[in-house]
Amino acid sequence: MIKIFKGRNAICLILGLIVFKGFLKGEIVDRIVSVVNGEVITLLDVKVVQRFSLFTEEGNEPSEDTYQESLEYLINLKIVMTMVAEKVVVSNEEVDSLFQKITMEIGLEEMEKRMFELGLDEEALKLYLREKIFYEKIISQRFSGGIRIALSELEDYYREKYIPQRKELDLEVLPLVDVLDEVEALIRKDKISKLKAEWLAILRKQADIMVNK
């Protein structure tokens, strides 16, 4: 259940909380933008996820509205963290690896610049990375196994999606037998994405979600 709240009411005593953080150019206001099952999401949280593209999945392109996509990601993450009983372990090595991966992708100078602008040190950013890994492990653990793909699905995907995409990019169209693993992985990814969306939609109906507009 999602509640949109505006103006002055009882919940705004909590959601109207204002925290000031000093930045290089003036001051930026941090505020609570959502509460999910009692877990707070602040504007800073959304900005961190947005600036480091933590809301994106491997191989997916972000939408134009990265703020809203970041907020939706955080709402889903809080739902999973508060409502799912599966136990997963996130090691320091996994967190360090993701930190290094992001650093290599955007460059050390840009990494340090973004962290400074958001008022984060390395350890603070790694808390967000740990939650991202936790969330993705829960999804993988729940949906990666038991997905069966029929030969007809491989053939249909190859004909209807793979070939047109390759031609659009002016790339060589390889025979299905040569790209069987690639096509199967793409189909599996699509199925997991659909199952995840359906599962999260069910959890959202059961969750107590408040969004500050």
Which residue range is the domain that position 98 belongs to? 2-212
pLDDT of residue 85: 83
The predicted-structure confidence for 120-137, as pLDDT tens digits, reads as follows 999 999 999 999 999 999
The pair of three-digit structure tokens given for residue 185, joined into one six-digit string: 């992985």
Question: What is the CATH number for 164?
Answer: 1.10.4030.10
How high is the pLDDT of residue 4?
52
Q: What is the pLDDT of residues 76-93, one digit of tens each?
A: 999 999 999 888 999 999
This prediction's pTM: 0.78
Question: Which residues in the chain show pLDDT less than 70?
Answer: 1-29, 58-64
The whole-number pLDDT of residue 38 equals 95
Overall domain count for the chain: 1
